[in-house]
Chain A
Amino acid sequence: MAMRGRISVESRGDAVAITGTIDETAGLPELLGLAREHRLVLDLGGIVFINSLGVRDWIRMQGAARRAGIAVELRRVPEPIIHQLNMIIATRGRARVTSFFAPYACDACGREDSLLIDAVVHARALARQEPPAAMPCADCGGEMAFNDFPERYFSFLSV
């Protein structure tokens, strides 16, 4: 595992897993050096926070990937990054999101969770901006329903 500013970077299968905070110290474009055969898979499940300077670094990484002909795949994209992808179109670049976290809430007990959605398996429903069906609540076994506006939360998938 290598530390870069406030993120740590490690190999996880065919992916590069980064965890921590993406800010002015991240140096994300340098991650492109870890691409294999013009493909870079980023596992973002451990990212807890990204600030505006981190967003700028992220956009630079996307631009550098495009110029270098590197295809970027994003896995387990957490909510803080989804919010940026939805707010700032430039953050999307040409990256392909294959899985991401989304907010769910249990009507029965009130538990809120961030649950993983497979964007490939659910591609057709997501294209219609329909969230996957209810998932079981870890606390009470009740049904957890998607807890945001689908047209807003899934808008990053439309470009």
Chain B
Amino acid sequence: MQRILGGTGHGVDAVDDLEQAVPLVAGRAPRLVVVDGGAVSSPTFDEFFAAARARGAEACVALLDADHQTHLPQILGLGSVTNLLVHPMPVLGEELTITAQKLIRGDLFGAEKYLLWGTELHATTMTRASQRPQLVGELGDHVRDRGQSERVASMAMLVADELLSNAVHNAPVDDRGTRYRAELRRDAEIELDDRHRFVLRWGCDGRYVAIEVSDGFGSLDRDAVLRALAYSDIKESGGGAGMGIALTYRSCDHLVFNLAPGKRTEVIALIDVRYPPGERVPASSYNVFVERG
């Protein structure tokens, strides 16, 4: 952990437990604190997070031990962990480095940060709601054409469908914050003017299929995202953006929210294509980044 974060060029302090970490944070102004997921059971966990946040630090929970996956429901249920990294090394090293660099540089947006150099991202601007099924089907075909399995294509289609649907119906808000398209029928045709148009980008670098959807409203709220990620089940009448986020999270390996309140929302879903299903971690990482003013 120390070597990974040390690679950013910033100073790194390591301690054995949260009891040692609380006074350390209180005396400094760290940019990022990283906590092992096993510490969620510690009585000092909430106190440490509060202390870190009070000092302006972003907090990240990393599962350094596979056994700590049993803590996932508890971590998600907290509704306060904005960065959760569940994969073992070497993926953890990649995820943690990108997380740290984005926070340190304040440069949040773009799926390029998660893909190897030279990977082409294909962009499509959505101009009407009825494009969604066609775009989703085409994405599935493209992913299969790249030699990916039916499982990966199916996951990519589900993720894209949810992100596109959210961008059409849940992202638009008026001056009062009312989501004026949330109740419209999902199969209704809606022409999207310049204000409502948004972009789907996707690419594959042989490690990940990355799917990115960004809109110009910036209406997705950090706490709403964290609540949605914790959904373990839905009811018959449930739905809205929350259900779409919950399904998207469970259908990819890493979900990233880049939020610029009132300006822009970007969601990036990464599907790891390196490992067969039986060797994949049965959980997903996520980041919720909020642009600082």
Task: Give the B-binding residues of A (Cβ under 8 A).
Answer: 5-6, 21, 23-25, 48-53, 55-56, 59-60, 63, 79-80, 83, 87-90, 103, 105, 112, 114, 146-149, 152
> With contacts A60-B236, A79-B150 known, is A105 near B276, CB below 8 A?
yes
Which of the segments B24-32, B118-126, B151-159, B200-208 contacts the partner chain? B151-159
Residues of B within 8 Å of A103, CB to CB, are 151, 277
Please, how many angstroms separate the alpha-carbon atoms of A55 and B244 in the complex?
Answer: 11
> Which of B149, B233, B236 is within 8 Å of A63, CB to CB?
B236
Task: Given A52-B243, A87-B247, answer yes or no on A152-B282 (Cβ-Cβ < 8 Å).
Answer: yes
In the complex, the answer to whether B233 meets A90 with C-beta atoms within 8 Å is yes
Check A21 against B158 for contact (C-beta < 8 Å).
no
Q: In whole angstroms, how far apart are the Cα atoms of A79 and B149 in the complex?
A: 12
Looking at chain B's contact residues, is the secondary structure mostly helix, strand, loop, or mixed?
Answer: helix
6 examples of A-B residue contacts, CB within 8 angstroms: A6-B133, A24-B186, A49-B161, A53-B165, A55-B243, A146-B278
Per the 8 Å Cβ criterion, residues 151-199 of B in contact with A are 151, 154, 157-158, 161-162, 165, 185-187
- Note all chain A residues with C-beta closer than 8 A to B15: none
Residues of A with C-beta under 8 A to B186: 23-24, 53
- Asked if A112 and B161 sit within 8 Å, CB to CB, the answer is no
A131 to chain B, nearest CB (A): 10
- A83 and B251 within 8 A (CB): yes
Cα of A147 to Cα of B250 in the assembled complex, Å: 18
Q: Is the CB of B158 within 8 A of A80?
A: yes
- For the side of the interface on B, what is the size category? 20 to 34
Asked if B247 and A147 sit within 8 Å, CB to CB, the answer is: no
B11, CB-defined interface residue at 8 Å = no
Cβ of B88 to closest chain A Cβ, rounded Å:
15
Residue of B nearest to A62 (CB): B236
Assuming the contacts A103-B151, A147-B276, asked whether A51 and B161 have C-beta atoms less than 8 A apart, the reply is yes
Contact of B149 among A50, A55, A112 (CB under 8 A): A112
Q: Complex: how many Å from CA A123 to CA B209?
A: 36
Could you say which residues of chain A place their CB within 8 Å of the CB of B236? 56, 59-60, 63, 90
Most chain A Cβ neighbours within 10 Å, of B140, B157, B277: B277
B234, CB-defined interface residue at 8 Å: yes
Q: Given known contacts A147-B276, A148-B277, is B235 in contact with A52 (CB within 8 Å)?
A: no
| Most A CB within 10 A of own CB, among B187, B234, B251 | B234
**Residues of A close to B149: CB separation below 8 A:** 112
- The CA-CA distance from A98 to B133 in the complex, in Å, is 30
Q: Choose one: A6, A49, A53; the contact of B157 (CB below 8 Å).
A: A49
Query: Looking at the complex, which one of B133, B140, B151, B233 makes contact with A89 (CB distance below 8 Å)?
Result: B233
Contacts of A23 in B (CB 8 A): 133, 161, 186-187
Contact residues, B82-120 vs A (CB, 8 A): none
List chain B residues, Cβ under 8 A from A148. 277-278
Which residue in A51, A88, A114 is a CB contact (below 8 Å) of B165?
A51
User: Which residue of chain A is the closest to B245 with respect to CB atoms?
Assistant: A52
The list of the 3 closest CB pairs from A to B, nearest first, reads A24-B186, A148-B277, A51-B161
Question: Counting CB contacts under 8 A, is B239 at the interface?
Answer: yes
In angstroms, Cα B150 to Cα A103, docked, is 10
User: Is there an interface contact between B282 and A149, defined as CB atoms closer than 8 Å?
Assistant: yes
Inter-chain contact B234/A88, CB cutoff 8 Å? yes
What is the minimal beta-carbon distance from B186 to any residue of chain A, in angstroms? 4
In the assembled complex, which residues on chain A have CB atoms less than 8 Å from the CB atom of B278? 105, 146-149
Closest to A49 in B: B157
- Of B150, B162, B234, B276, the contact of A59 (CB 8 Å cutoff): B234
